[in-house]
């Protein structure tokens, strides 16, 4: 390789890595109240042990940039914290639509595993319907860039329920009630990414999950 060609490659790589840091990718993080969305936002901002969040998020917050770096790879994301109570689900729609979110993360926890709490399944159905429909509420037809590139189903609070689980996370029973919705998204051409995290205690898992979504989907 000539010196000129080598120099051109180095410059191109430097420009590309700068572009990845400057250009922000829109992520939408949704999920029911107390699933850990605000905790996940803290983790994306601060990287490390995050405080216990005791306040519920009200409405939709302004989207802010977060730099995610792992294994020499760096990307900038934009996310907006939003409340998880059902009165705020319409705000999820506004966020998804306005920012043309490219990657959705539906954050869940283990509350449904004892069998008598359905709120996460209801929220998941709401979100899957919203994403799969050809029209936005109000009737405007969606364009191709109104659909996300991928939807992550991230099971949070692994420190509480996933101890000792070392198999493929996709096979964990925590995802079972959500599989029908995943197949609807897949039929629509939208891949799904099942992943297990602890937003409060494990920053590396969080960062790795974000990179996987960006690089593999
Ligand atoms: N053990 C454990 N607790 C967590 C984890 N992530 C979040 N929590 C706790 O779960 C509770 C709810 O977390 P939030 O981040 O406030 O949940 P949210 O989804 O933002 O809730 P809303 O704002 O009401 O929508 C807090 O007490 C967190 O400390 C985790 O990975 N492990
Ligand atoms: Mg919150």
**Please, which contacts does 190-193 make with residues 24 or more away whose CB atoms are closer than 8 Å?**
190/131, 190/132, 190/147, 190/148, 190/149, 190/150, 190/151, 191/150, 191/151, 191/217, 192/150, 192/151, 192/152, 192/153, 193/150, 193/151, 193/152, 193/153, 193/217
Per-residue model confidence (pLDDT) at position 115: 83
Nearest CA to ligand 1 atom 3: 157
Lowest mean pLDDT among 13-17, 88-92, 121-125: 13-17
Residue 198 near residue 156, CB atoms below 8 Å: yes
Per-residue model confidence (pLDDT) at position 22: 73
Per-residue model confidence (pLDDT) at position 30: 98
Per-residue model confidence (pLDDT) at position 70: 92
Per-residue model confidence (pLDDT) at position 141: 97
Domains in the chain, number: 1
Nearest CA to ligand 1 atom 11: 34
Residue 106 dihedral angles phi and psi, to the nearest 5°: -95, 110
Per-residue model confidence (pLDDT) at position 7: 85
- What is the per-residue pLDDT across 61-81, written as a single tens digit (0 to 9) for each? 999 999 999 999 999 999 999
- What is the per-residue pLDDT across 175-209, written as a single tens digit (0 to 9) for each? 999 999 999 999 999 999 999 999 999 999 999 99
Tell which one of 35, 36, 83 to mutate to probe ligand 1, the residue whose CB is within 8 A of the most ligand atoms.
36
Per-residue model confidence (pLDDT) at position 214: 96
> What's the mean pLDDT when you consider all of the chain?
94
12 found inside a domain: no
Per-residue model confidence (pLDDT) at position 148: 98
**How far away, in angstroms, is 84 Cα from ligand 2 center?**
7
Which structural domain, as residue segments, surrounds residue 185?
A: 24-216
Describe the strand order of the beta sheet including 192-196 as a list of residue ranges: 64-70, 73-79, 24-30, 103-108, 150-155, 192-196
57 found inside a domain: yes
119 found inside a domain: yes
128 or 51, which is more confident: 128
Per-residue model confidence (pLDDT) at position 200: 94
Q: What is the chain's alpha carbon radius of gyration, rounded to the nearest angstrom?
A: 18
Ligand nearest to the backbone CA of 159: 1
- What is the per-residue pLDDT across 45-54, written as a single tens digit (0 to 9) for each? 987 778 899 9
Residue 153 near residue 195, CB atoms below 8 Å: yes
205 found inside a domain: yes
Judge residue 14's burial from the number of C-beta atoms within 10 Å of its C-beta, 0-12 exposed, 13-18 middle, 19 or more buried. Answer: exposed
**How far away, in angstroms, is 199 Cα from ligand 2 center?**
12
Query: Residue 39 CA: which ligand 1 atom is closest?
Result: 15
- As a whole number, mean pLDDT of residues 35-62 equals 93
> What global pTM score does this model have?
0.93
- CATH (domain of 156): 3.40.50.300
Residues within a 6 A CB radius of ligand 1: 31, 33-39, 52-53, 56-57, 83-84, 156-157, 159-160, 198-201
202 found inside a domain: yes
- Give the helix/strand (H/E) hosting 15: helix 3-22
159 pLDDT higher than 80: yes
Ligand nearest to the backbone CA of 87: 1
Biggest CA pair distance of the chain = 67
32 found inside a domain: yes
Nearest CA to ligand 1 atom 22: 33
14 found inside a domain: no
Beta bridge mates, 107 = 154
- Give the helix/strand (H/E) hosting 22: helix 3-22
Per-residue model confidence (pLDDT) at position 57: 98
Query: Residue 198 CA: which ligand 1 atom is closest?
Result: 31
Q: Which residues contact 41 (CB under 8 A, 6 or more apart)?
A: 29, 66, 79, 81
8 found inside a domain: no
Judge residue 196's burial from the number of C-beta atoms within 10 Å of its C-beta, 0-12 exposed, 13-18 middle, 19 or more buried. Answer: buried
Query: Residue 52 CA: which ligand 1 atom is closest?
Result: 29
- What is the per-residue pLDDT across 108-126, written as a single tens digit (0 to 9) for each? 999 999 888 999 999 999 9
């Amino acid at each position: 390789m000539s010196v000129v060609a080598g120099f051109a490659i180095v410059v191109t790589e430097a420009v590309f890595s700068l572009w990845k840091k400057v250009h922000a990718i829109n992520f939408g993080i949704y999920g029911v109240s107390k699933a850990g969305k605000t905790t996940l936002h803290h983790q994306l901002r601060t990287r490390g042990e995050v405080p216990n969040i005791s306040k519920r998020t009200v409405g939709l917050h302004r989207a802010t940039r977060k730099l995610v770096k792992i294994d020499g790879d760096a990307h900038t994301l934009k996310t907006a914290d939003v409340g998880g109570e059902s009165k705020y689900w319409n705000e999820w729609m506004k966020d998804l639509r306005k920012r043309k979110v490219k990657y959705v993360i539906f954050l869940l926890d283990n509350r449904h595993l004892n069998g008598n709490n359905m709120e996460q399944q209801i929220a998941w159905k709401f979100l899957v319907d919203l994403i799969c429909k050809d029209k936005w509420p109000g009737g405007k037809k969606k364009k191709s860039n109104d659909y996300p590139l991928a939807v992550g189903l991230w099971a949070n609070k692994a420190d509480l329920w996933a101890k000792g689980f070392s198999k493929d996370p996709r096979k964990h029973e925590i995802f079972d009630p959500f599989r029908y919705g995943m197949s609807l998204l897949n039929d629509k051409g939208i891949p799904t990414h099942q992943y297990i995290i602890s937003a409060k205690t494990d920053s590396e898992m969080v960062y790795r999950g974000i990179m996987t979504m960006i690089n593999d989907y």
